Structure 1
Amino acid sequence: MKDRKLDSGPFKINACPLRRVNQIYLIATATKLDINAFSVPKNIDDKYFRRIKAKRPKKEEGDIFEQKQEKYVPSAQRKKDQAVVDGMVMSVIRKREDKKMLFGYLGTPFGLRNKMYPHRLKF
C-alpha cells in the first residue's frame, strides 16, 4: 500500500468503515495510539480495496433508464474484518486514562471553515 494508510473509524464510534486513504488527505494529530502489538489480518491488501466493476450491458439489452443500479452491500468477510480491526483499536482506547475524551473526540464530525488552515491547527 504505497502512500496509503488504513483508516478505521472505529465503525462503532463514528461509522467510518475500514478503507484505504491517501496520505495527502490526512491531518496528523498529537494523539497517538500504540497498536504495535496487533497485526492487520493478512487478507487486507490492495486487492481487498479494489472496486468491483459493473458489467456494462450491450446496446441490444434494453434502455439505459430501465436498468437499476445495484446498491453496494458489504460482504460478510468485510464485516468480519471490520469487527476484528475495530476490536483491536477499541481495546487500545479502553486502556487509556483519557478514554472518555478520546471517544468523544473520535465521534465528533470534523470540517474546515473559512480561514481555517489545516497546517496551522493543533489537535
Structure 2
Amino acid sequence: MVNGCPLRRINQIYVIATKTKLNIDSVTLPDRLTDDYFRRQKLNKAKMGEGDIFESKKEVYSVSEERKEDQSSVDKQLLAAIRKSGEKKLILGYLGAMFSLSKKQFPHKMIF
C-alpha cells in the first residue's frame, strides 16, 4: 500500500486533486479488476436455531492471496513510476502524510 489505502475503488468526494502529475503509462492492471472484483463479499451469518449459540462461529473476512498479489504488483509498478519522476521525495512524503482540514480551510481554495 503506497499511501495506506488498499487496492479498492474510492469515491471522488474523498480525493483531493493536486497539480502534481505522475506518468503512469507503464502501469498495467490485471484483467481481473472488474466490478465483481470490488463488490463486497457476503459472509454467512451463524444461524441461531442450530445447536448452541456458542458453537456456531461467525465468518470473518480475510484477504485472499489473489488480492495480495494484485496489491503488490500494482504497488511495485506505482513505486517504479514515482522513482522515475523528478520529485520522488516530495511525492512519497505527500502520500505518507496525514491530511486533515480545520475550520475555515476549504480544499477547493488550496493549491497543492
Whether TM-score is above 0.5 comes out as yes
Residue by residue over 1:71-121, the C-alpha shift from the partner in whole angstroms, topping out at 9 and shown as x without a partner, is: 432111101000111111101100112101211111101111111112111
Task: Please point out which of 23, 44, 62 is paired with 2:12.
Answer: 23
TM-score (norm 2): 0.85
Structure 2: segments with no counterpart, 5+ residues: none
Which residue does 2:68 correspond to in 1? 79
TM-aligned CA deviation for residue 43 of structure 1: 0.4
Which residue does 1:111 correspond to in 2? 100
**For the structure 1 residues 14 and 25, does the alpha-carbon distance in structure 2 shift closer, same or farther, using more than 3 Å as the test?**
closer
Larger relative contact order, structure 1 or 2 (CA cutoff 8 Å, min sep 6): 2
State the superposition RMSD in angstroms.
1.8
Identity %: 46
Which residue does 2:111 correspond to in 1? 122
TM-aligned CA deviation for residue 31 of structure 1: 1.0
SS in 2 for 1:33: coil
Pair member with larger Rg: 2
Distance in 2 (CA, whole Å) between partners of 1:68 and 1:26 is 37
Distance in 1 (CA, whole Å) between partners of 2:3 and 2:27 is 21
In the alignment, residue 18 of structure 1 is paired with which amino acid?
A: L
2:45, 2:58 within 8 Å by CA — same for their partners in 1? Answer: no
TM-score (norm 1): 0.78
Structure 1: segments with no counterpart, 5+ residues: 1-10
In the alignment, residue 107 of structure 2 is paired with which amino acid?
A: P
Which residue does 1:33 correspond to in 2? 22
2:46, 2:57 within 8 Å by CA — same for their partners in 1? Answer: no
Distance in 2 (CA, whole Å) between partners of 1:41 and 1:89 is 14
